[in-house]
Structure 1
Amino acid sequence: MMTAPRVRRLIRRLPWWIATVFLIGAVLLWIFPFVWMLSASLKDNTEVFAAGLNLIPEMLVWENYGRAWEDAQFGRYLFNTVLVTVITVIIVTLRCAAAGYVIGRYRFRGSRLIVGILVATIFVPTGYTIIPVVQVSLQLGLIDSLAGMILALSGGANVASILIYAGYFRQLPRELEEAAIVDGAGFLRTFLSIMFPLAMPVTATVALLTFLGTWNAFFLPLVFTFSRPELRTLSVGMQAFIGQDAVDWSGMTAAGIISIVPVVLLFFFLQRYFVEGIAGAVKS
């Protein structure tokens, strides 16, 4: 028989147990689609529909991954996606860091107007920017190349990334720049040698956000590879499984797993820096 102190202790912990059960249920509900897709990638097309929500395949069909990798050319698409994403992340990170450094550390005439214009671009739908980007790329002869795709993907406003950098740089002490000036360092050297290395948590955050956006981009890669299928990225390559009369669902889910794995691994290694970068920018 439970004593009165023990009953009171259980009552005090009741909200904790309720929250725990709720969060476990939410986690299971959130990961179920991913687990189902992994299971479907190991089934044939008939079993995908016949099994319903059953997660255990009757027979493992590893050929789905071979069909996605070779027949659908996802090996080439993966290379294209990695190349485009890595270069885009480098360009966007350096550009946003430099812009955020200037906005966060310097006060000049028109700085508030520039920030206002940047924030206003958030409300511009992506579809409105594709047409001018394509027109400029056509005039420059870059429409059917990976270089043109990289320039188009890295040329956006990236307002959130700039503001995250600005918030982080604003909280750093002025003594760092003053010491650099005394040592004879100019603007560029101060930024590259001192300020940018200190912003590594923010850099990881911006790099991860840019990686996700570029990796999952669809409209711009679709336009830039419309006449050259060999330049497709993973998101555009998914169309290879959609036929005129049928859809290869098992092959598509296998391709989806191939597309997701690099993103999950990157987030696993950068999650600590991601949280630190967001927390540092918000705190400032």
Structure 2
Amino acid sequence: MTAPARPAASAALPRARRWRRRLPWWTLVAVLGVIAALWVFPFVWMVSASLKSPAEIFAGGLDLVPEQLRWENYARAWTDGNFRRYLLNTAIVTVGTVVIVVVRCALAGYVLGRYRFPGSRLILGILVATLFVPTGYTIIPIVKLSMQLGLLDQLSGMILALSGGANVAAILIYAGYFRRLPAELEEAAVVDGAGFLGTFTRIMLPLSMPVTATVSVLTFLFTWNAFFLPLVFSFSNPKLRTVSVGMQAFVGENSTDWSGMAAAGVISLIPIVALFAFMQRYFVEGIAGSVKS
């Protein structure tokens, strides 16, 4: 009478084996889910705090549901906090910096990746060495040079100061990508009569769009979140403040407008999230293409 139970028992064995095989995968998913929740929680809490009153922020603790949606916090940050002007300044500075860095690093990466000349390794060594120089040590010559050029109280001076760094990571990403391109492309361009700049602008730069997207995103994030240099350049002219420096507008002598600061933080993060969501695929392709050689 026990014979009919054997097929059911034998069928249960493969299911148990499949479960044991998938257990590590489900465990990894659970661990990554917890890490993702912990990583996203501060942003979600800031969005929630931007819709609360200052008293509710401290009374609610980690509660994410506001008792009443206070959209006036965003209006206060936009008008009273002058974030309308700060956001425009940040956009101008960021776009200008990204353009200069992309052009400069693409040219430097093309030369270092495609050409071998005396001193090329020394140049790479000097570039890598600049990674260990703190920003604070370079601020004095940057400010002095900007004063001599009359650019200290202008957004153009801030753009040149932010884009004038070594940008070693961007140069190495471009160099790694250009190094693995076939030499036949350059030879065909030379046969067609193209010079150095013609080969670079017509062939090499269009082919490096994934890397350009990666460098653009990295430079965008760095410039948008920059604080030290914009703070120095806007000391004498508060109208030049960027969003990171403009957060000080919510800090008073006796109190801090935490809800307005949270609303300003959400406003300043929206362009970053939108850009990364739009260029995420190109960002990953550029990193993979520069590493693969």
TM range (shorter): over 0.9
Structure 2 regions of 5+ residues with no counterpart? 1-7
Aligned residue number for residue 43 of structure 2: 34
Aligned residue number for residue 121 of structure 2: 112
Aligned residue number for residue 257 of structure 1: 266
Note if 1:78 corresponds to 2:87: yes
Note if 1:280 corresponds to 2:289: yes
Aligned residue number for residue 202 of structure 1: 211
SS of residue matched to 1:257: helix
CA distance in 2, matches of 1:217, 1:5: 56
1:141, CA displacement in angstroms? 1.2
Aligned residue number for residue 103 of structure 1: 112
Note if 1:4 corresponds to 2:9: no
**Normalising by the residue count of structure 1, what TM-score does the alignment of the two structures yield?**
0.99
1:231, CA displacement in angstroms? 1.1
CA distance in 2, matches of 1:209, 1:6: 47
Note if 1:247 corresponds to 2:224: no
SS of residue matched to 2:62: coil
Q: CA deviation digits over 1:97-155, x for unaligned, max 9?
A: 00000000000000000000000001111111111101111111111110110110110
Aligned residue number for residue 134 of structure 1: 143
Q: Number of aligned pairs?
A: 284
Opposite residue 200 of structure 2, the aligned amino acid is F
**Normalising by the residue count of structure 2, what TM-score does the alignment of the two structures yield?**
0.96
Note if 1:67 corresponds to 2:53: no
Aligned residue number for residue 57 of structure 1: 66
1:244, CA displacement in angstroms? 0.5
1:210, CA displacement in angstroms? 0.4
CA distance in 2, matches of 1:29, 1:148: 39
Q: CA deviation digits over 1:168-218, x for unaligned, max 9?
A: 000000000000000000000100010000000000000000000000000
Aligned residue number for residue 181 of structure 1: 190
1:263, CA displacement in angstroms? 0.2
CA distance in 2, matches of 1:155, 1:7: 61
Q: CA deviation digits over 1:212-243, x for unaligned, max 9?
A: 00000001101111111111100000000000
Aligned residue number for residue 231 of structure 1: 240
The two structures, once aligned, show a CA RMSD in angstroms of 0.8
Note if 1:192 corresponds to 2:177: no
Larger Rg computed on CA atoms? 2
Opposite residue 191 of structure 1, the aligned amino acid is F
Flag as ranges the 4+ runs of structure 1 deviating above 6 A. Answer: none
CA distance in 2, matches of 1:4, 1:197: 56
CA distance in 2, matches of 1:185, 1:13: 57
What percent identity do the matched residue pairs reach? 71
Residue number among 44, 52, 56 corresponding to 1:47 in the alignment: 56
CA distance in 2, matches of 1:57, 1:241: 21
Q: CA deviation digits over 1:27-81, x for unaligned, max 9?
A: 1111000000000000000000000000000000000000000001100000000
Aligned residue number for residue 89 of structure 1: 98
